[in-house]
Amino acid sequence: MTSNLSPKKKRFCDFIINFSKKNKRSPIFKEIMNGLNINSLGTINWYVRELEKAGVLKRTKGFNGKRALSIIEENDTNSLPLLGIIAAGYPLESVENHEKIEVPLSYAKPGNYVLRVRGDSMIDDNIQDGDYIIVNKRSNANPGDTVVAIVNEEATLKKYYPKSDKIELHPRNPEYDIINVYPEDRFQINGTILFSFRHYK
């Protein structure tokens, strides 16, 4: 869909696509201004309105709409299972259900699923209460990955740091403590985070 745009509009869309892939979130307006050397917020708003009218861009609704821009690719209407709620705070049991939620086509792949975030322990990674995360189901992770971890039958979203004698699950909010997982604890990784977004209509 972006191939039919003017060069300037295509550049605007390409920036949002590349930024989102690199940072695992949509850019805020100020980041678009800096990235494209645009000095006027009105110009950003004009691009957004025009691209929305063209059906190329959509602004997902949340309390901070500026971080909810996504480019609609051709056939970009697919879904993943929404498997429940994950705690970005202290562990909370995740409850499976059969609801589906629309996601960008590039993430709608076998082995991926969606969880809704509850809590604010990951806010320094721009993951806020009420956000959705796309997770790749896997049982291992690299140090520093953000993982869906099951600790003694409870699920939580944290940064994963294995140590010689334990595993540390780090929040991204200084108000929360590190969760220490010892050999006697029941622990497993249920996936690593690929992308986070606000609410898709």
Catalytic site residues? 121, 158
- Whole-angstrom CA distances from 96 to 27, 101, 139, 196 are 31, 14, 18, 19
State the SS3 of 72-100: CCCCCCEEEEEEEEEECCCCECCCCCCEE
Compute, in degrees rounded to 10, the torsion defined by CA atoms 132, 81, 193, 71. Answer: -60
The number of beta carbons lying within 10 Å of the beta carbon of residue 49 is 12
* φ, ψ of residue 105 in degrees (nearest 5): -55, -35
